[in-house]
Each structure stands twice: as structure tokens, then as C-alpha cells.
Amino acid sequence: MNSKYAFYMDSTKCMGCKACMIACKDAYNLPLNVNYRRVAECVGGDWFIQPDGTYSQNVFAYYLSVSCNHCNDPKCVAACPTGATHKNENGLVVIDASRCVGCKNCSWNCPYSAPQFNEEKQHMTKCDFCADRLAQNLAPVCVLSCPARALDFGPTEELIAKYGRANIAPLPPSHITQPNLAVNPHQNSVKATTNTTLLANKEEM
């Protein structure tokens, strides 16, 4: 089942403030080191000395805000031995806490590391696209909190048709899970299929 909703992230607007990350953490009272949304700082490039002694550079940096992408081919669902992690009737990937045994297979198999073990609850947890808010026709808290309006959400078919599935480093190539995430790439962004060395700073809070 395809997701009815997709996240949209405009990397040209994101300034790495982490307001989305903090708003999500506050709304769901998440403990230390459990973050449903993360902001990666992607940097690369180098400086080069020229024959005349001057320097040139191809240094770049951009930010990418990512949570669970509620993929069309979710590896977390395939890896779950109890069926706790599953796609619901709205196409969202969710976790049934009553069936979760905390084996962490879902997290180990998700290339985005979206599912996270909550020590306090003793089961896996993850972004559910603010399902309760969606049921009330309200936007996810991360979308509302972004001061630069770099985050949005909408119908999957519409966003993917306009922007394509996210295929930007440091994310894995989109063909692996078919993520329901559309990204307007930064002018310096690097495709996920390149071999460029990147540093993705995913700060824990």
C-alpha cells in the first residue's frame, strides 16, 4: 500500500535551527537520545593550492531534516518478526506497541534509522506522521514549527510527481525503499548515488 501522505523538505530554506526536531520531541515527551526527526548537516569539499600559490575551493554545506519516510517498500516492516511494525489503512508505517518485543530488527534494517528503542517504554517507537493530528486535518507539529517554512506535507502523488523521491546525500538511494519524501535540493546538494565523502552531523538531544 502506498502512503497517502508525503513529507516535503525545501533544503534551500533550511537553516539547521532544529526547531522541527525540538517541537517533535516536546510534543511527544521523548526521552534523551530518542528523536523522531533529525537534522543532518551535510558538508564536503576541500581547498586546493594552485600553481601560482593561490587557493581555490569547492567547499559546500547544507541541511536536511528527515524523519520516518513511510516508505512504499519499508524494510522495517519486512524485518519485524511479530508484525508489530506495519503499514496501516492510510499507508503510514506504524508500530503496535502491544506486539513489539523490542528486538530492534526494524531499526537495524531501516536505512534511515527511523525506528528507535524507548528504554522507558521498553518497545520500539517512531514518527507516525502525527496521525492524531492528521485525523483532525491538522499539520504535523514539525511542519508548523519550522520558522523558515522549509517543511511541508501533502498528497504523495502530487509531491512526488512535482519533485521526485528524495535522492540526496546523506540519504540512501531512493530505489531501496521508495521513501515518501520529496526534497527541493540545495544548489550544492550531492546525489545519493555519488561517492562524494560527506559528514552528516546528526546531533542527539
pLDDT given at position 1: 63
Distance in angstroms (rounded) separating the CA atoms of residues 95 and 98: 9
- 3-state SS class at 73: coil
Report the side by side order of strands in the sheet with 60-66: 60-66, 38-44, 199-202
Q: Which three cell numbers stand for residue 44?
A: 564536503
Question: In CATH, what number is assigned to the domain containing residue 39?
Answer: 3.30.70.20
- Distance from first CA to last CA of the chain, Å, rounded? 33
Q: Give me the residue label for grid cell 542527539.
A: 204
Per-residue pLDDT of the chain (205 residues; tens, 9 = 90+): 677 899 999 999 999 999 999 999 999 999 998 999 999 888 888 999 999 999 999 888 899 999 999 999 999 999 999 999 999 998 999 999 999 999 999 999 999 999 999 999 999 999 999 999 999 999 999 999 999 999 999 999 998 888 888 888 888 898 999 999 999 988 888 787 644 444 444 445 5
| Nearest Cα residue to 28 out of 61, 77, 86, 68 | 68
pLDDT given at position 92: 94
- Global pTM? 0.84
Are the beta carbons of 142 and 151 closer than 8 angstroms?
yes
Q: What is the pairing mode between strands 5-10 and 85-87? A: unpaired
Q: Which three cell numbers stand for residue 24?
A: 517533535
pLDDT given at position 35: 95
| Nearest Cα residue to 19 out of 202, 150, 143, 145 | 145
Q: How many domains does the chain have?
A: 1
- 3-state SS class at 127: coil
Phi, psi angle pair for 26, to nearest 5°: -70, -45
pLDDT given at position 170: 84
The parent domain of residue 10 ranges over 5-202
Q: What is the pairing mode between strands 151-155 and 5-10? A: antiparallel
Count the Cβ atoms, other than its own, within 10 Å of residue 104.
Answer: 14
